[in-house]
Amino acid sequence: MPRSYVSEARRRVAPKRARIRPIVDRLAAEYPDATIALTFRSPLELLVSVMLSAQTTDVNVNRVTATLFRKYEKPEDYLAVPPEELERDIYATGFYRQKAKALRGTMQLLTEEFGGEVPRTLDELLRLPGVARKTANVVAAELGRPQGIVVDTHVRRLSQRLGLTKQEDPVKIERDLIRLVPREDWGRLPHLLIWHGRRVCDARRPRCEDCVLHDLCPSSRI
């Protein structure tokens, strides 16, 4: 079980429904360029990048896909090589056997049932082998149709510190955020929280003195 940050939210602040709008607006002003760190040129490249990003860094994925996407341009390309060759090509992302198996299964389904195109709905994306809810949410949001809110380690930590949820499970955290966050912000909120989490609200040593949310945050040390 990852560390919980719920207990840090002790200060008395305004109710979360009154704080969510200024939280989003301040972060948007602070990080106007907040976006996904993965590099891709098509829905298929987006899907592959997100699938490869499990248990590794976006920087590492981008390093691998810079070569990978020159070799594999369509679903059939992933099926045309032996599994061992695909494993070698994605080896540096870690868990390469599981990822290669998931990629091949996904490409097979895309070819057989979706005309080689990446589906846009969450239900369809979740049918793809190796695609769990977080991956499906990322893909749907980046394709312009967010149907949920991405919950990664940064979103989990900041949501707990900001007192937006007391849950530990990502699915339950997402449910709390969906009830609270305006739908038009579902796609950009995770990017804002991720950027803020990487730059200011560090897991071990949050820089509350530099935080634009310090007066809205029940965990602020100021």
Look at the block and give the residue holding tokens 């804002």. 192
Q: What is the pLDDT of residues 125-158, one digit of tens each?
A: 999 999 999 999 999 999 999 999 999 999 999 9
Helices (H), ranges, 56-180: 58-71, 75-79, 83-89, 96-113, 122-125, 133-142, 153-161, 170-180
Distance CA 125, CA 102 (A): 13
For residue 62, give both structure tokens. Answer: 């981008």
Distance CA 167, CA 187 (A): 21
pLDDT at 55 over 80: yes
The CATH T-level fold of domain 6-35+149-210 is Endonuclease Iii, domain 2 (1.10.1670)
- Give pLDDT, residue 163: 98
Q: Is residue 150 within a helix (H) or strand (E), and if so which, with residue range?
A: none
**Residue extents of the structural domains in the chain:** 6-35+149-210, 43-142
Q: Residues 16, 89, 134, 185: which is the catalytic one?
A: 134
> What pTM was computed for the model?
0.93
- Give pLDDT, residue 2: 85
Average pLDDT over residues 26-52: 97
Q: Residues 77, 152, 176, 215: which is the catalytic one?
A: 152
- Give pLDDT, residue 222: 84
Q: What is the pLDDT of residues 60-102, one digit of tens each?
A: 999 999 999 999 999 999 999 999 999 999 999 999 999 999 9
pLDDT at 105 over 90: yes
Q: Indicate if 16 belongs to the active site.
A: no
Phi-psi region of 210 (alpha: psi -120 to 50; beta: other; left: phi over 0): alpha
The mean of the pLDDT values for the chain is: 97
| Spatial CA neighbour of 162 closest among 2, 4, 9 | 9
Q: Indicate if 152 belongs to the active site.
A: yes
Look at the block and give the residue holding tokens 């059939």. 76
Angstrom CA distances, 220 to 161, 199, 212, 216, stand at 8, 16, 11, 8
- Give pLDDT, residue 162: 98
Q: Which CATH superfamily is domain 43-142 in?
A: Hypothetical protein; domain 2 (1.10.340.30)
Do 110 and 79 touch, CB atoms closer than 8 A?
no
